[in-house]
Amino acid sequence: MTPTADPDTAPRPRGHACVQSYLATLDNSPGVYRMLDSESRVLYVGKARNLRKRVSNYAKPSGHSGRISRMISETASMMFLTTRTETEALLLEQNLIKQLKPRYNVLLRDDKSFPNILVAKDHAFPQIRKHRGARTEKGAYFGPFASAGAVNRTLNQLQKVFLLRNCTDSVFESRSRPCLLFQIKRCSGPCVGRISEADYAAAVRDAEDFLKGKSSGLQEALAAEMQQASDAMEFERAAGLRDRIRALTQVQSAQGINPRGVAEADVVALHMEGGQACVQVFFIRAHQNWGNRDYYPKTGSGAEAPELLQGFLGQFYDNKEPPRLILLSHDIEDRDLMAEALSQKAGRRVELSVPQRGEKAELVENATRNARESLGRRMAESAAQGKLLAGLAEAFALDAPPKRVEIYDNSHIQGSHAVGAMVVAGPEGFLKSQYRKFNIRGDSLTPGDDFGMMKEVLTRRFQRLLKEDPDRASETWPDLLLIDGGAGQVGAVAEIMADLGVEDLPVVGVAKGIDRDAGKEEFHRPGERPFALRHNDPVLYFVQRLRDEAHRFAIGTHRAKRAKAMGATPLDEIPGVGATRKRALLTHFGSAKAVGRAGLADLKAVEGISDSLAETIYGFFHERG
């Protein structure tokens, strides 16, 4: 009798045979599929209009690119999710890619939000300021701008032209005389009645029209007003209008390339070289260039341009509102489907176009040139960084150049407001999106106990790593730990790592040498004698940069925590009192101490404070004694 293999213990097919085994259970529905390796790690996430037809393509033994062939050969299992429409499948695919980060998918690592200009409308004299994040405040939003610097430059010029306030409401309410901005003609002084509400509202409308691109008549109107002031011998007012006209001209000339035929668009251009890719995004709003940003997505082990650009678009607009027009340097695989998905997200029509001639094509060509030049610079920097990492491996006797170096430091003042900081560097330089800060929580720590602080930071960091990725399959595991400290710190760190069961990670301590002079650093490894590098060794300068960056980040984090603590009041502890009500209470009473002394009737008289909340506030202070 021939024994029958136990289906639970029999080896599962891999590669084409594995893919073929799923065809019998698939129908023609749209959906998303995941390809997994033998350890159930997701290799690839894809969407399909017809799951059976798409998966049958992978089951064919030939006709695939080298990248797809490698992916299929590693596939040991698959997972499927059906959807109602292909558009839903596309949106689900992009969400899963961002969540799972499969090796063979295109991955966008930097998905930060962009800053906007906000003209707040919750006050009789609206404030103009920079805004980032969800658009929850009442007002008019203009953007996105490519960087905070672009916003600040525009705000600076807008203040010169329109004289709108940028102070907070609490500062506005507390002014008794004009501030410095009024003196240097950057504000019209609404806080002390130097401008009427109607005139200020007119200035706000002019500023909004300018940001909408409707500024053609604004300069002429200001020139006519200046002439009238001059004729009436109001020379000081005429000089002020002249300065505003000059500022407006400067704003218009500083906007860069201002396309006449494109009112609102994102220009997305891709350049690929040497297995790397750069995507440049230019933001065109109100016929003005509001800056550009470059991105370096992972190419999914060799994706072609159409797939790479499609993956980028899906992830880039996952948390951003798409404009009405997106100009592309390359066509993508499912352009109509992507346009439909983005239109559904925006609640209006979004068009994707690959222009071949005219002004739009020139915009794309300019963005492509920037992408090519940015990638060239990055590749040159990566080559230099690679040499430094190789030198680091040689200096510290590592098996290979590290791909991820984590540098740790603490900051505190006599133990108060203690924070830990982790800085990350790799072949691409400092990875600022990977930086982490740790608020030291240990109540039993002696103030100023650096060893105890480091133990808490490393324990929290590596306990989480061990929980999320015990097999060290992801890129979040470091190859080298650099600690700001000497033999004592290194010994303590080695003991911590041994307790966690992570004893194979190289640890190096960087300690100031004789007289604590830079350039005389000593390096410590567990159980070894300290050593130094040559004074002019590039690797020494590299380590100094790593340590100094960790020190800068730790101190900045500590200062921010200390400043926040200094600005805290007992009002922060009262349930139901948020930022708006806190501001209302402080404006009404002048200080948190005065709020604590106020009677119940006085608290109820504050705008925005209900009777029940007034009783809560009164009880909070009086129960505390």
| Each residue's pLDDT tens digit, 45-60 | 999 999 999 999 999 8
Pick the range with the lowest mean pLDDT from 155-159, 187-191, 243-247, 295-299.
Answer: 243-247
297 pLDDT higher than 70: yes
Q: Partners of 310 in the beta sheet?
A: none
DSSP E strands, 296-342:
325-328
For residues 244-259, give the mean pLDDT. 61
- Res 327: pLDDT: 96
The superfamily (CATH) of domain 263-375 is UvrC, RNAse H endonuclease domain (3.30.420.340)
Q: Is residue 367 over pLDDT 90? A: yes
Gap between the Cα atoms of 543 and 394, Å rounded: 13
What is the separation, in whole angstroms, between the first and last Cα of the chain?
88
| Residue bearing the bigger pLDDT, 386 or 515 | 386
Q: Is the pLDDT of residue 193 over 70?
A: yes
Return the pLDDT at 45: 95
- Give residue 247's pLDDT band: very low, low, confident or very high (50, 70, 90): low
Which burial class, exposed, middle or buried, applies to 27 when counting CB atoms under 10 A from its CB (0-12, 13-18, 19+)?
Answer: exposed
Rounded to whole angstroms, how far apart are CA atoms 252 and 219? 11
Q: How confident is the model over 534-546, as a mean pLDDT? A: 88
- Stretch 67-88: mean pLDDT, rounded? 93
Q: Which CATH architecture has domain 568-621?
A: Orthogonal Bundle (1.10)
Q: Does residue 391 contact residue 539 with C-beta atoms inside 8 Å? A: yes
Task: List the structure tokens of 273.
Answer: 């070289």
**pLDDT tens string 26-43:** 999 999 999 999 888 899
Task: Assign 537 a pLDDT band (cuts: 50, 70, 90).
Answer: confident
Whether residue 144 has a cis bond before it, omega within 30° of 0? yes
> Over the stretch 399-435, which tens digit does the pLDDT of each residue have?
999 999 999 988 876 556 788 899 999 988 898 888 9
More confident residue, 210 or 391: 391
CATH number of 403-550: 3.30.420.340
For 145: left if phi > 0, alpha if psi spans -120 to 50, otherwise beta; the answer is beta
Q: Please indicate whether residue 478 or residue 620 has the higher confidence score (pLDDT).
A: 478
The pLDDT value given to residue 9: 45
Q: For 76-133, give the secondary structure using H, E and C.
A: CEEEEEECCCHHHHHHHHHHHHHHHCCCCCCECCCCCCCCEEEEECCCCCCCEEEECC
- What does the pLDDT read at residue 265? 92
Tokens in use for 79?
């997972």
Q: How confident is the model over 134-145, as a mean pLDDT?
A: 86
Q: Is the pTM of this model over 0.75?
A: no
pLDDT band of 394, cuts 50, 70, 90 = very high
Residue pLDDT, tens place only, 319-364: 888 999 999 999 998 899 999 999 998 899 999 999 999 999 999 9
Name the class of domain 13-104.
alpha beta
Q: Given its phi and psi angles, is residue 186 left (phi above 0), alpha (psi -120 to 50 degrees) or beta?
A: alpha
Greater pLDDT, 140 or 10: 140
Biggest alpha carbon–alpha carbon distance for the chain: 116
Q: For position 43, what pLDDT does the model report?
A: 94
Q: Where are the alpha helices (DSSP H) in 175-272?
A: 180-183, 197-211, 218-231, 235-253
Q: Is 158 within 8 Å of 119 (Cβ atoms)? A: no
**Domain range annotation of the chain:** 13-104, 113-252, 263-375, 403-550, 568-621
Tell me the C-alpha distance between 342 and 90, whole Å: 10
**DSSP symbol at 23:** G
Same fold, 263-375 and 403-550: yes
pLDDT band with cut points at 50, 70 and 90 for residue 3: very low
Residue 221 has pLDDT above 60, yes or no: yes
pLDDT band at 566 (very low <50, low <70, confident <90, very high): low
Residue reference for tokens 């997200």 = 345
| Residue 624 DSSP code | -
- Sign of CA pseudo-dihedral 471, 475, 476, 481: positive
